[in-house]
Structure 1
Amino acid sequence: MASISPEDHFLHRSGRELNPAVDYIHSMTKTPPNGSDTTADDRRTTTRDPSTAGIENRLETEGDPESGGGLEYEVVTTPVLVVGAGAAGARVAIELAESGLEPLVIGKREHGDAHTTWAAGGVNAALGSLDPDDDWTVHAADTLNEGHHLNDPDAVELTAREMPDRIRELVEWGMSFDRTADGDINQRYFGAQSYRRTCFVGDRTGEAMLETLIGRARDLEIPYRENVMITRLLSDGERVDGAVGFDMETGDGLLFRTNHVVLAAGGFSALYHRHSSRDDENNGDGQALALEAGARLLDLEFVQFHPTGMVGERYGEEWDGRLVTEAVRGEGGRLYNAEGERFMERYSPDQMELDARDVVARAIAREVREGRGTDDGGVYLDISHRDAEYVRERLPSMVERFESLGVDITAEPMTVAPTAHYTMGGVDIDFRTGETGVDGLYAVGETVAGVHGANRLGGNSLAETVAIGKLVGDHVASAVAVGDDDPTVTDGQRAMAEREFRALADLAASDGTVPPTRILEALGDLLWDHAGILRDEPGLRDGLATLAELRERTADLRVDGGLTSKSFEYAVDLSASLTVAEAMLRAALERTESRGAHYRTDYPETDADWRVNLVLSAGTEGLSITRRGVAEPSPAVREALEEGYELDYHHLE
């Protein structure tokens, strides 16, 4: 691993020698250019694995194994590497395979175990099954309104136009959407939607979608490697030539050599104390990898707090923050405070519980803050007024989950409170190509920013994965050139990878007193307290100061269990998590207005002059933040905006 330069803005020196953990966690310097004259010994043997035809696997050994100094790692060459195995990564890979390529998809978990499965309520497409007046322009207008017009209009329109075809495609591949009595794909309301537009499979839509996509990928025999963690991209800041990581089951190093890397690694909502993700997912690794490789980040201040996460001792710590799908409110669920008031009448008498997520989340936070919450710090979500069989049919997973906890939601309310759920910010890309501005590096899904603006419209996360995923896959396929199927591995690239392997080994050997989980938990509390639903300048500055203290605590990091342990995985996560947390705090401090999911109590109004995106870049002087104007939508979408479509709540009464 390269030494850390004095200018490195992520390194907080305290006058003492840094241990390997600090050196690794704070390393954000540029990697050496690919033409580095650092050479590796001529010591390699080559084997091919017949189970992955077209993908080359080599076993490399650094140093002299007989003297005990050997470092074994595998070299894999592939035309395209897709990092992330959720819906976005799968859809990119399917498009590549249908174009005649053989990409390699890698994921942190077992095949099919991706965060997409947690998106329960549905996916948006203007099919008009129940409301024939709905069309893609109204879908786009709703998305722009919900995003407070910070969205990339081109990205929004591409998504809205593509989605009817993508839904029909999923049906062709075997996805069994719920149907109306007439046999059409059924659709439900989600918050802030003008029409019933959300297609669903009960309340397990994301799981059904991922199963369908993986089934299609298997039909196409797309190679996949599970339990792989990427820790660094091979980049000189101008182009990417592959990625470095390790096998989480064996601890062996992995060097992926490719001219095309697609990041589809999710968001960073799990950095918060209360969140709807698994603790080992959505920790910002995709954004951190891209930033370090030379890409820009966009809109990191916008974090969506879903109004209804589980809360209360009755459910246990394991379920704290877990999502209660918006489909509950979409099917007529009502919110009550501890005094029995249906309080959304005060905040949104027209759209009630189905107003925008940021509006409902702030309303719940205010009820709790003003003493009208439950003893557990939440409110009640009740759907018991609906027919019990209807609830069981439309919300089977919710019924089953709460029954396992001793709650019958067909007869009694659930206790809920806001939870960090989704990140609108991410990598800055061209949505027609997925390009990041770094040659060979592309991004897609929750890893990127642009579709959702300042707040995401419910049902659009799954929509973005397949709509934009197809477009990115199509472009990357056209960019693959002769020779990309078996790219040469240079000595400089091997040297860069071997530095990373040594750094990981040093990190795994950290023998201090502070486990990484303790720092991650403190980071979660920091963000919840200082960059949560309500923010202000003193709190954000305190958050940055506390973040610096957390960085210092990594000097005493302890990793137990070596390269295959959860302790080591969390230690690696720290590098990405601290990086993205700093970027998010700085962006939130910079935006001196309230807009969408970003609410500043010291600047409570929306300021027309702040209709700009904040672009973040990493350089030798630290993080830089610049402002960029937002483009205007097409005439057709402007017309839909001017019509002023909005939710007609009476359908649910």
Structure 2
Amino acid sequence: MTERPSTEPKIRQFGADAGTENRIEHDERAVDRESLEYDVVTTPVLVIGAGAAGARVAIELAESGLEPLVIGKRGHGDAHTTWAAGGVNAALGSLDDEDDWTIHAADTLNEGHHLNDPAAVELTTKHMPDRIRELEEWGTPFDRTDDGKINQRYFGAQSYRRTCFVGDRTGEAMLETLIERAQELEVSYRENVMITRLLSDGERVSGAVGFDMESGQGLLFRSNHVVLAAGGFSAVFDRHSSRDDENNGDAQALALEAGAGLLDLEFVQFHPTGMVGERYGEEWDGRLVTEAVRGEGGQLYNTDDERFMEQYSPDQMELDARDVVARAIAREIEEGRGTENGGVYLDISHRDPNYVRDRLPRMVERFESLGVDITEEPIEVAPTAHYTMGGVDVDFRTGETGVDGLYAVGETVAGVHGANRLGGNSLAETVAIGKLVGKHVADVLEDDDTDPDVTDDQRVVAEREFQALESLAGADGDVGPTELLADLRELLWNHAGILRNEDELREGLAKLDALRARTADLDVDDDRTSKSFEYAVDLSFSLTVAETMLRMALERTESRGAHHRTDYPEIDEEWRVNLVVSVEDGELSIRRRGVGEPSPPVQDALEEGYELDYHHLE
């Protein structure tokens, strides 16, 4: 066998001259198998992602008598689900007995500006009361009313109080419950694993390739059924509510490369209230201040001491849709009524201090550690990239992606939330749809899926990926992946942030090309357990997602929900279509697809015109 020459690490890309590759470039020459060491793991179902969505899929599979394997990038229980603090939606009617699932669906469609998949919305809202009662039965300690019902609070743009909560640690409590249930069922779990490629010929998936982040060992997972539940891509923006090493677009890039389509990536939710200000420090910049603060009566003020939401939304005030409140804050800052740190003030000190401590214990604790008593003084906030409505295009009844054997669920996918997500619906989607996907996979599993063979062709593809990772590790250039990721985040914040236009988007694409060219000069640690190596792989995913998002934002020439074009500031009914992107002949191809219509009961709820009245809180 000829000696393999050294190769510079490169980032694959889409485009006329790019061929079919889009992330770390592979050396297509023969692989020296004797130099590669890796473990092979076979499983009937591989679940990539260990948050609420992945856990709920695995629970359903285990309850069906199957033995799935769940893998996560972090330690067991350390998933982004824990950062969803404020609550989870279900039309229980604990406080407002007029509420029902059809009104929940209508609120979701209205908040999504009717780009949602109506079937996905109805599946979520119809099933959520049962999913909440299931979580309650499994031990989630939901807050209670005086008469013992599961308590519910207002969240933005909800017609009734339907957000169930565990103080302000709801996501953490839900995930703890799901993990305990999975452990009772003896679901296998492997932590600190990063997937870098799905084994796919574009028609069918046959597993995944990655490495153990603690040992650096290569891993080949052989499975005929792979479920992507690895989150979204909000961390590609400069100010974001995620940790820097998660929500980098892994799942979306993996799916696109495997042959699946992506839907509506232009829709990124900028949460109105992220932390901002020198007193908090860089570590806390962009971290979420839960919507529960406003749901419990928190008020927004500018530096002129004006409660400015009276001008933008006199009826719904601080609890209007997230995109509305975020743009209002951005405008206040842009017009000179923001703080020196580029924020505004969120104040809940008018509420009883004991009430605030009871309902918002984590927020009180966090800010006390930073020298701020939120029961006595306001906190400084500004919009932050928080959630991605766009993602993998799926059939929500099954989780199918169009690539045989590949499924997706949770923030990885698009469809439930449309152009803007209703607060409290992210956690709802994970468990409502997660159960359905798990059931479908269990139903279609065949006997020969239990312990699938590893073919020579599959080994060759996997070994080429290992070889690419080997060439990436120890790359001796002049620019580190952390620097490039920071530049990418700044680029997207400046050119595809809350307010967008054609010139800025085109300039962003040009800068993206220049940034991608710099990856040929990467400097990466040769230790595959290092953050440097992890961030280099993250960079490859993020570049793919960034280009796709910019191109889709440029394509949609209207303003709708979280996508606001200053050069096309109005909603255009001709644009009530979804955008679907796929790879055709090595290039990104974008097409339009019509949106379905809701069922008659939900249409009736829409025509009734239910709407939150903020002043019920006063």
What is the TM-score when the length of structure 1 is the normalising length?
A: 0.91
Query: CA separation in 2, counterparts of 1:609 and 1:83?
Result: 37
- Alignment of 1:164 with 2:129, yes or no, is yes
Query: CA separation in 2, counterparts of 1:339 and 1:618?
Result: 51
Where 1:21 maps in the other structure, the secondary structure is: coil
Of the structure 1 ranges 19-28 and 484-493, higher mean CA displacement relative to structure 2 is found in 19-28
Q: Map Cα deviations across residues 548-591 of structure 1 (whole Å, 9 max, x no partner).
A: 00000001100025211000000001111000000000000000
Equivalence for 2:545 = 580
Equivalence for 1:22 = 10
Q: Map Cα deviations across residues 62-100 of structure 1 (whole Å, 9 max, x no partner).
A: 644xxxxx2110000000000000000000000000000
* Alpha-carbon contact 1:516-1:570 (below 8 Å) kept: yes
Q: Which amino acid in the other structure matches residue 549 of structure 2?
A: M
Equivalence for 2:230 = 265
Query: CA separation in 1, counterparts of 2:215 and 2:275?
Result: 36
Equivalence for 2:26 = none
Equivalence for 1:539 = 504
Residue in structure 2 matching 1:402, options 356, 359, 367? 367
Offset at 1:25? Answer: 7.2
Query: CA separation in 2, counterparts of 1:337 and 1:117?
Result: 31
Q: Which amino acid in the other structure matches residue 142 of structure 2?
A: F
Residue in structure 1 matching 2:472, options 503, 507, 514? 507
* Alpha-carbon contact 1:25-1:574 (below 8 Å) kept: no
- Alignment of 1:221 with 2:221, yes or no, is no
Q: Which amino acid in the other structure matches residue 29 of structure 1?
A: T
Residue in structure 2 matching 1:431, options 396, 400, 405? 396
Offset at 1:651? Answer: 2.2
Equivalence for 2:435 = 470
Where 1:437 maps in the other structure, the secondary structure is: coil
- Alignment of 1:103 with 2:94, yes or no, is no
Equivalence for 1:248 = 213
* Alpha-carbon contact 2:6-2:471 (below 8 Å) kept: no
Offset at 1:18? Answer: 11
Equivalence for 2:47 = 82
Q: Which amino acid in the other structure matches residue 20 of structure 2?
A: T
Q: Map Cα deviations across residues 121-147 of structure 1 (whole Å, 9 max, x no partner).
A: 000000000000000000000000000
Query: CA separation in 2, counterparts of 1:365 and 1:23?
Result: 35
Q: Map Cα deviations across residues 375-422 of structure 1 (whole Å, 9 max, x no partner).
A: 111000000000000000000000000000000000000000000000
Q: Which amino acid in the other structure matches residue 328 of structure 1?
A: V
Return 5+ residue gaps in structure 1 as ranges. 1-16, 32-37, 41-61, 65-69
Residue in structure 1 matching 2:491, options 521, 526, 531? 526
Where 1:20 maps in the other structure, the secondary structure is: coil
Describe the shift of the 1:419–1:23 C-alpha distance in structure 2 as closer, same or farther (beyond 3 A): closer
- Alignment of 1:283 with 2:274, yes or no, is no
- Alignment of 1:643 with 2:596, yes or no, is no
- Alignment of 1:386 with 2:374, yes or no, is no
Of the structure 1 ranges 617-626 and 235-244, higher mean CA displacement relative to structure 2 is found in 617-626
Q: Map Cα deviations across residues 223-276 of structure 1 (whole Å, 9 max, x no partner).
A: 000000000000000000000000000000000000000000000000000000
Query: CA separation in 1, counterparts of 2:47 and 2:539?
Result: 23
Residue in structure 2 matching 1:330, options 295, 298, 309? 295
Offset at 1:621? Answer: 4.4
* Alpha-carbon contact 1:30-1:293 (below 8 Å) kept: no
Query: CA separation in 2, counterparts of 1:63 and 1:241?
Result: 20
Offset at 1:19? Answer: 5.0
Query: CA separation in 2, counterparts of 1:584 and 1:638?
Result: 31
Q: Map Cα deviations across residues 265-301 of structure 1 (whole Å, 9 max, x no partner).
A: 0000000000000000000000000000000000000
Aligned positions of 1:48-447 closer than 5 A: 63-64=33-34, 70-447=35-412
Where 1:151 maps in the other structure, the secondary structure is: coil
Return 5+ residue gaps in structure 2 as ranges. 23-28
Q: Which amino acid in the other structure matches residue 21 of structure 1?
A: P
Aligned positions of 1:583-602 closer than 5 A: 583-602=548-567
Aligned positions of 1:478-517 closer than 5 A: 478-517=443-482
Query: CA separation in 2, counterparts of 1:402 and 1:23?
Result: 41
* Alpha-carbon contact 1:24-1:507 (below 8 Å) kept: no
Query: CA separation in 2, counterparts of 1:151 and 1:234?
Result: 30
Query: CA separation in 2, counterparts of 1:19 and 1:483?
Result: 40
Q: Map Cα deviations across residues 455-509 of structure 1 (whole Å, 9 max, x no partner).
A: 0000000000000000000000011101111001000001110010011010002
* Alpha-carbon contact 1:271-1:283 (below 8 Å) kept: yes
Where 2:437 maps in the other structure, the secondary structure is: helix
* Alpha-carbon contact 1:18-1:555 (below 8 Å) kept: no
Offset at 1:649? Answer: 1.3
Q: Report % sequence identity.
A: 80
Query: CA separation in 1, counterparts of 2:474 and 2:486?
Result: 22
Equivalence for 2:525 = 560
Where 2:65 maps in the other structure, the secondary structure is: coil
Residue in structure 1 matching 2:415, options 447, 450, 475? 450
Equivalence for 2:25 = none
Offset at 1:20? Answer: 3.1
* Alpha-carbon contact 2:153-2:161 (below 8 Å) kept: yes
* Alpha-carbon contact 1:30-1:237 (below 8 Å) kept: no
Query: CA separation in 2, counterparts of 1:430 and 1:210?
Result: 25
* Alpha-carbon contact 1:263-1:286 (below 8 Å) kept: yes
Where 2:37 maps in the other structure, the secondary structure is: strand
Describe the shift of the 1:395–1:23 C-alpha distance in structure 2 as closer, same or farther (beyond 3 A): closer
Query: CA separation in 2, counterparts of 1:323 and 1:379?
Result: 14
* Alpha-carbon contact 2:474-2:526 (below 8 Å) kept: no
Query: CA separation in 1, counterparts of 2:586 and 2:210?
Result: 28
Offset at 1:650? Answer: 2.0
Query: CA separation in 1, counterparts of 2:33 and 2:131?
Result: 51
Query: CA separation in 2, counterparts of 1:92 and 1:290?
Result: 18
* Alpha-carbon contact 1:514-1:556 (below 8 Å) kept: yes
Query: CA separation in 1, counterparts of 2:352 and 2:213?
Result: 47
* Alpha-carbon contact 1:25-1:572 (below 8 Å) kept: no
